[in-house]
Each structure stands twice: as structure tokens, then as C-alpha cells.
Amino acid sequence: MARSTDALKWKKVKAGSLIAVYWKEYKHYFACKVLRKHSKETPKSRFFVEYEDQSKYWHNLATTKFRWLEDVGVFVDDEAEEDATVESEGETEQESDGTPPMISENENDEDDDLDTKLESNDTLTPATKQSAKKRKEISEDSAKEDHDQEASGNGNEDQDQDEDSSHQPKNKVKERKTTKSAKTGKSKSSPKGTKTALSLSMKTTVKHVKNANENKGTTKQGALLSLLMVHRMSGTNTVTYERLVKDLGCHPKTKKLAQAWKEIRQQNLVEEEGCGKGKQKLFRLTQEGIESIAPDDYKHELANPPKTTMELHERIKSHAINNHAVKIFERLLHARKEESSLSRTELAAACGVTVNTKSYACALKQLRENGYAVFDPKNKHHFVLSEKCFID
């Protein structure tokens, strides 16, 4: 049964709300969107929702464990959120570098607490459960493969050193341990590098960085720098620290993440660039930070800018997030020749989808964030290509 606070919250849910439903079987929240509320044939507490895998089902939110889903999917269990609220009330200001106050919770501990505290959901359908099970199995298999590779890579060295240890005097045991640590690259005194954290390319997305961070395929410093680089390659040079934390799906007061952010700022890899909405500080990569994390294909494009409008158009389309982005760009280009503009509905029709299609919305969002698609000054609800798309 849902908690009393959640039992009251479901009454405020409206069509279009983003929520997250908890599944006890998999001990995790899964994002979903409320499509519509009850009808005459259904109870008032039932809502029709759509999950990440585009499956759609009715849910009784009065008896279902659910949470509100913030901007990009950051959600915490009730008790963790209450603890963070209590701590924030006793604090007067944030650090000067834009990092929120730190707490000592470990990320793995937060996950374990979430597994044991949250309640059950009996309204899940077999199809939705199967989808979640597949996602969980893929994550576990990936983690197991990484562990096996690490074990096999260090197994031979450990065996050789164990054989030699029986012939060594006791006063050399400390020296042997130091040598082993140096060979395996696990020395505690060695600084965490950023170049070996994650291999970027022009096709790298926020989701790729988030998955690498969750699977321990990157350091915290590497994840933050990689996200800044991904946003830069997509046309957004400045972002807030809060946005980076949400992209990683972490709690804003995670101690390790806040410490990593402080370190890369001290290394002069990131600099502050004014304030955004809500007086949140904006940050961007310094030239040193760009050189340390930028992929080779991005550096090549910077060194070889397009010389003609046709070359620029080919580059824009090569960076498109999906085929819808290419079709939208070409349709707007054709409309420019006709000296006209297009609405969201007309652009969606050109892609053969509706305005509510997620892939279409992401494509239009990319063109807008990059500054290629802008609102027509003569018609606020129609789009045109900006002058940024043309050279001559």
C-alpha cells in the first residue's frame, strides 16, 4: 500500500505529468508519462500511463508506489529526500565554486537503502515486467564482464607474485605489495586521469556518459568533463552544475561527485560563465579542458571549418540525432526557398509522425538548441532556419 503522502499526491496528477512507478521485483523506479485520467467507466484514482518502452497500461495510483519525475529523471526515495531537506535548512549558502553542500552518503549505499525501503507494486503487467527484466539483465551482464576482464588481466601477475612470496623474507613483503599495486594500476596515491576515463566521439550522447558512469567505466571527473564536452558538441557551450548532476542521474549532494567537480575546477579545466535562469551559475570548458577531453573528429572539424553553405549543411545533417532531424532541416530549407515558415504539426507531418512522438520532439529540440531552427519573427508558432545555417 502506498504511503499516506503518496496517497494524497495521486489526486493532483494531471494528464501529461511525468512520474516514476516503483517495482519491488526489480527494486527500481521506471519512468512513465500520464496520458489521460479516469473516464466514466474507470475509478477516479486510475490513470493511463506510457512507459519508456512505449507500453501503455492503466494504473491505480492510489495503491501504487510512485514518485514525481523531475526534468531529466532524477528521483530519490522519500527518506533520502527528507534527510536532504533537513540538511539544506541548516545551511546558509553554497560554496563559491557553484558546488552544492556535500553529504557523506555513498552512492552504492543509497541504492541499497532504496532497495529495502520502498514498497511493492501489484499493478504491473507481464509485458512491462519482461521489459524491465531485460534491462536489468543487460546491466548485470555488463558489470560481470568488466569484473571478469579485470580478474583475467591481473590473474597471471598475482599468481607469479604468490609463488615468489614463499621465498622472500618478511621485511620485503611491503615492497612486493607496492610493486603489485603499481603493475595493476590501482595505487591509491596515483591521481585519477581523465583521458582514460571515456573515449568520446561526435556521436557520443548524454546517455552514453551516464551508462559509463553507472557501470564504473569512467571516473567522476571524466564523467563531468565528458558531459560538458557532449553539450558543447551539441551547441550548448554553458551548462549548470545541477544539469550535469541530473544528466548522470545522481543526487545533487553526492559527496564523491561534488569532490570531483571541485578538483576539475582547481585544475582549471572548467570556468564560470555568468548565471542562468534562477540565478544558477553557468560553467563551460576552458581551452585546456577542451584540449584534454575533445575527440579527434571534433578537433578536426574545428581546424577545418566549412567553406561553403553546402558543406555546412552536410555537416549539420551528419550530426543529426536521428533521421527526423535531417527531414526537419531539409523541410525548413525548402520552406526558406519559398519564403515561408512551418508549424510543429507541419514538420511532424513531413516526418510521417505526430507532434507527440518522442523521436520527433528530440530531433526538433536538437535543432533548436544548436540555434539552427528558430521561431519566425512574423509568426511566433512557426519555425524557420536561422542565419547560422548559411555562409554565403
Q: What pLDDT digit, counting tens, does each position of 281-338 carry?
A: 899 999 898 888 888 888 888 888 889 999 999 988 888 888 999 999 999 999 999 9
Residue 180 domain-assigned (yes or no): no
CATH number of the domain encompassing residue 328: 1.10.10.10
Select from 131, 14, 111, 116 the least CA-distant residue to 61: 14
Cβ neighbours around 222 below 10 Å, total:
24
Residue 73: predicted pLDDT:
40
Domain co-membership, 258 together with 363 = no
pTM over cut 0.95: no
Same domain, 102 and 68: yes
Q: Would you mind telling me the total number of residues written for the chain in this entry?
A: 392
Number of domains in the chain: 3
**Domain end among 90, 109, 126:** 126
According to the model, what pLDDT value does residue 64 have?
Answer: 74
Residues 122 and 8 in one domain: yes
Residue partners of 383: CB distance under 8 A and separation at least 6: 332, 341, 342, 343, 344, 347, 364, 373, 374, 375, 376
The pLDDT, as a whole number, for residue 328 is 94
Least confident of 133-142, 265-274, 333-342: 133-142
Helix (H) / strand (E) containing 285? strand 281-285
Query: Which of 110, 126, 142 marks a domain boundary?
Result: 126
Whether 286 maps to a domain, the answer reads yes
Structural domain contains residue 188: no
Task: Inform me whether the pLDDT recorded for 193 exceeds 50.
Answer: no
- Name the nearest CA neighbour of 351 among 389, 379, 321: 321
The answer on pLDDT for 178 being more than 80 is: no
Q: Which domain holds residue 115?
A: 4-126
3-state secondary structure of 19: strand
**317 within 8 A of 326, measured Cβ to Cβ:** yes
Determine the pLDDT at residue 143: 52
Q: Give domain status of residue 174, yes or no.
A: no
**Is there a single domain that holds both residue 23 and residue 50?**
yes
Query: What are 374-384's pLDDT values in tens digits?
Result: 999 888 889 99
Residue 279: the pLDDT is 72
Q: List CB contacts of 285: < 8 A, sequence separation 6 or more.
A: 225, 228, 229, 232, 269, 270, 271, 293
Q: Which residue has the cell 548559411?
A: 390
Of 227, 221, 222, 229, give the one whose Cα is nearest residue 286.
229
Mean pLDDT of 204-225: 87
List the beta bridge partners of residue 272.
Answer: 283
More confident residue, 9 or 171: 9
Cβ atoms of residues 74 and 243 within 8 Å: no
pLDDT of 213 over the 60 cut: yes
Q: What is the share, in percent, of the chain residues with pLDDT greater than 90?
A: 17
pLDDT band for 28, please (50, 70, 90 cuts): confident
E strands in 26-89: 28-36, 46-51, 56-60, 66-68
Whole-angstrom Cα distance, residue 223 to residue 197?
Answer: 8
Mean pLDDT calculated for residue range 131-141: 52
Q: What is the DSSP letter of 30?
A: E
Q: Are strands 342-343 and 373-376 parallel, antiparallel or unpaired?
A: unpaired
Mean pLDDT of 195-203: 66
Whether residue 153 is contained in a domain is answered as no
Does 225 share its domain with 321? no
Angle at 177 between CA 176 and CA 183, to 5 degrees: 90
242 pLDDT more than 50 = yes
Alpha helices in the chain (DSSP H): 4-9, 78-89, 107-117, 126-165, 173-184, 206-214, 220-233, 241-248, 255-266, 287-293, 296-303, 309-318, 323-337, 344-351, 358-369
Provide mean pLDDT across the span 173-187.
43
Q: Is the pLDDT of residue 117 over 70?
A: no
> What are 338-363's pLDDT values in tens digits?
989 999 999 999 999 998 898 999 88
The 10 Å Cβ neighbour count of residue 139 is 14
Say if CB 262 and CB 98 are below 8 A apart: no
Residue 349 lies in a domain: yes
Domain boundary among 103, 126, 149: 126
- In terms of domains, do 275 and 321 share one? no
Q: 548524454: which residue's cell?
A: 206
Site of grid cell 586521469: 193
